[in-house]
Chains A and B, each alone.
Chain A
Amino acid sequence: MKAAIPRPAVAYALLIAVMAALVALPLANIEIYWILILFLFFVYLAMTNMWNLVAGYSGLISLGQPAFIGLAGYSLGVVTLYGLSPFLGIVAGGVLAAAFAVVVSVPTFRMKGIYFAIGTWIVAEALRIFFNAWRPAEAAAATWGGAGISIKAAAGISIVQIYYLALTVGFGSIFLMRLILKSKLGLELMAIRDNEATASSSGVDVFRCKLYSFVIGAFVTGIAAGVFYLFQGHIEPISGFGVNWTIILVTAVIIGGIGTIEGPIAGTAIAVLLQQLLARYVGVSLIIQGIILVAIISLTPRGIVGTIQRSRASRSPLLLAIRRTK
């Protein structure tokens, strides 16, 4: 694991200052555009952090995260349809996503490596097709005749409130990551990722650890998705369960550096800015994102933070000393 931040007191003071600035931001007379970008950043950050936990630290390359995102979005839609609080809807989305993760883990955890990736991807695709055919009878008023459903409560909530929600979820995910990685579970997960057989024979309950990580990942991803769809105001199968989500998550984590704490933060910032910069070229935006993804993986398979850490480690006096003695 990476060494703790140097001079912790300074770092914490800096962190608190940044958080205070972010909280105070809407009070200052700032352009709504920047609030929106920060909102997107923090929502994506929560999801990328969770993908990093599941894929980077637990070795479960899940391409099925859209399943949790879509389910959470739909549960928010259905809960608010009955006039219940949207906050209840967000929590319900997280819980449903977590419950679904438990159900899905039964078949998919039997698959290894590449099979798991494809298996989870098929789950998301199957759900997309399912929701395409699904017509909620009692929700007929809320649908537009298609398979989409609009989230009524979205109208009553201001962008500043949603921004604070995103801020909470984003920072919450960072603290959760630190908490998990410092706990016994985090150590066990990394042991599994590095060598599953060794970990298992050292007494690590592989199945239980992976399940915890997968379910926690689904829960937080669901919560973040709820916040996102509260802002979006409507959800359709193609956007909720679509592969676009996987693209964002994978690109951000890979660009930043998979299996590092800072990686997803840097990667998400780059991904959000890239998305904004490319937004005006509607057709080619995803083509360029794909090219960037391919280029980065073939040039630096470890991502930006991963590469920096490596080069720093290779220059560290300790490692040099070890090399000299060899």
Chain B
Amino acid sequence: MMGLLLGGLYAVIGLGLSLVFGVMKLVNLAHGDLAVFSSYFAYVAMSSLGIDPVASLVLGIPILFAIGFAIQGLLMNRVFRLGMEPPLLIAFGISIILQNIYLALWTPLSRGLTTGYALESYRIGEFYIPLVYLLDFVAALLVMLFLREFLRKTYLGRAIRAASQDWRAAQLMGINTNRIYALTFGISMMFAAIAGVFVGLTFPFTPSSGSAYLIIAFGVVIIGGLGSILGTFIGGVVLGVAQILSGAYFGAGWQLFLGYVIILAILTARPQGIFGRR
């Protein structure tokens, strides 16, 4: 049950990565680190201004959208058609920069978004469900519903889908693909902002937490396959349940390790993802 709720949260982390991966065919290695930015932003808002972490998203989402727009518009658009490696390495560089900025600003100590409701829990049957996990899950459902409707109903959403299927054809139809790509990256960062706050509410985080988030996000995308919102959700749930179960059997110290082993095993067995298409 905990795993199921946690899976929703993992799905939100994976969703942003999946969007960029699916549309631009580039893996944003800095995705996790950018999500951590939102965790720290909420932390500062909470500790110095007393603003609730979820409320800090009002500012956090636009800021990360702008950062994402700038990364794609200024850096990635120049190189990402050259091949896989240049954007991979640029994202890697951004990840290094961010991790060390966090380290310089907030020290390596782990922080948490400890709110009044962080420790409350509800009893359902014989299970105790922490309120935060429930919040995570609700947020995940809302975000996924929003993305689905956005991609289906709006002009921008259709343009993004068109650009992901065939960018040349999309360009011929009068779509400014470079701008679409920058917007897509920005939207992916909005999801990262949401994920960052909710992950921060659930777990403590450090400047290097981004790597763990990224691997989780990648695992979710691998299990769920590209371009499928439902698949991403299932991927998140599979990974969440697997981690909670393995943590219960082998101890919390091995939880992350086993999560990685699971992802590697799935990558080996089905490199294109369980629900993925080639």
Contacts and interface: CB of A to CB of B under 8 A. Distances in A.
B84 interface: yes
A250 B89 contact: yes
Interface of A: 55, 61, 63, 106-108, 110-115, 117-119, 121-123, 125-126, 129-130, 133, 243, 246-247, 250, 254, 258, 283-284, 286-287, 289-291, 293-294, 297-298, 301
B256 interface: yes
A107 B103 CA distance: 34
Contact of A291 (B78, B93, B268, B271): B93
Contacts of A283: 100, 103-104
B215 interface: yes
A39 B89 CA distance: 27
Contact of B104 (A119, A121, A254, A284): A284
A122 B211 CA distance: 10
Contact of A290 (B26, B27, B93, B268): B93
B90 A287 contact: no
A287 B97 contact: yes
Interface of B: 26-27, 75, 78-79, 82, 84-86, 88-90, 92-97, 99-101, 103-104, 211, 215, 218, 253-254, 256-257, 260-261, 263-265, 267-268, 271
Contacts of A258: 85
A114 B75 contact: no
- A interface secondary structure, majority: helix
B79 A298 contact: yes
Contacts of B89: 250, 254, 293, 297
Contacts of B265: 107
Contacts of A122: 215, 218, 260, 263-264, 267
Contact of A297 (B26, B93, B95): B93
Contact of B271 (A111, A250, A287, A290): A111
Contact of B257 (A112, A117, A133, A293): A133
Contacts of A63: 92
B83 to A, nearest CB: 9
A112 B271 CA distance: 8
A284 B102 CA distance: 11
Contacts of B256: 129
Contacts of A121: 215
B220 to A, nearest CB: 13
Given A125-B260, A297-B86, A287 B100 contact: yes
Given A125-B211, A283-B100, A297 B79 contact: yes
B84 A294 contact: no
B215 A129 contact: no
Nearest to B27: A114
B104 A298 contact: no
6 contacts: A63-B92, A111-B268, A113-B84, A125-B211, A294-B75, A297-B90
A112 B96 CA distance: 24
B218 A118 contact: yes
B96 A61 contact: no
B78 A298 contact: yes
A110 B96 contact: no
Nearest to B254: A133
B215 A125 contact: yes
A126 B93 contact: no
Most buried by A among B26, B93, B256, B268: B93
B269 to A, nearest CB: 8
Given A117-B88, A118-B218, A293-B92, A123 B100 contact: no
A235 B253 CA distance: 21
A294 B97 contact: yes
A61 B87 CA distance: 13
Given A129-B260, A283-B100, 5 more contacts: A118-B27, A121-B215, A122-B218, A247-B92, A298-B79
A196 B264 CA distance: 24
